[in-house]
Amino acid sequence: MADYSNMRTVCLLLLMAIVFVSSARAQDTGVVQGRVIDRQTGHALAGAIVQAWSPSGLFTTKSDRNGFFVFMSLPTGVTRISATHEGYAPNSVAGVCVDPDQIRFVMIAVYDEILSIPIPSIYPQWRCYFGD
CATH number assigned to the domain covering 30-115: 2.60.40.1120
pLDDT in tens, 36-55: 999 999 999 999 999 999 88
Q: Is the pTM of this model over 0.85?
A: no
Under DSSP, is residue 51 helix (H, G, I), strand (E, B) or coil?
strand
Give residue 115's pLDDT.
55
Give residue 9's pLDDT.
65
CA nearest to 34, candidates 2, 74, 64: 64
Give residue 113's pLDDT.
74
Map out the domains of the chain as residue ranges: 30-115
Give residue 12's pLDDT.
60
Task: Give pLDDT < 70 ranges for the chain.
Answer: 1-27, 114-132
